[in-house]
Amino acid sequence: MTKIILATTSPYRIEIFRVLGIDFEVKGSNVDESQVERNNPEELVKSLSKLKAEVVVTNHSDAIVIGMDSVGLFNGQIFEKPKSREEAFQRLKSLSGTTHQFYTGIYMINTGLKKVISKVVKTKVFMRNLSDREINKYLDEDPHFNTYALGYDPVKHYSASFVKRIEGSYYNLLGGMPLEVIIEMLPKVGYK
């Protein structure tokens, strides 16, 4: 059977992918993400997921490599990983009581069959009003806030209460791993 390789080192994506019960390996891509233009969130995640998959695929002749990347979009501004606590605080403050979008690009390559498929998944996120105290409580509890494209974790921490509702993929927001889309894509790229 063709092996599956996730082109990621994200512990959240790895943990979520395990839910599928499919054997897989993990290979980090270590790509320079700064080389991709940041004008359009859909094009950005599509380009970065492709770049990550293509870097990993070079070492494997019979595998399905899955590259992924996620960003947020709010008021026309693309949000990637916050670089500091202050940036995460300001971002959450600006998102308080508003709606934003969360995009994940998925790019699959079956090296044996020479098949490629890609998709962009968009989830609309409705945030409740947040107090400064709540935001600080979350940032105090979670020193790894910078690992999230939008600066909060929608499941495991106090910040799970930040989201009122979503439209779209729950697993996309959970960790940039829209399982329901991935499981539909795998047969199309030749996984049995």
Structure-token match 């400064």, residue found = 132
* Catalytic, out of 69, 132, 140, 142: 69
Burial of 6 (0-12, 13-18, 19+ CB in 10 A): buried
Q: Is 183 helix (H, G, I), strand (E, B) or coil?
A: helix
For the question of residue 23 being annotated catalytic, the response is no
Question: Minimal CA–CA distance to 181: which of 190, 191, 169?
Answer: 169
Q: Is 57 helix (H, G, I), strand (E, B) or coil?
A: helix
State the Cα–Cα distance between residues 22 and 4, nearest whole angstrom.
Answer: 8
Give me the active site residues, please. 69
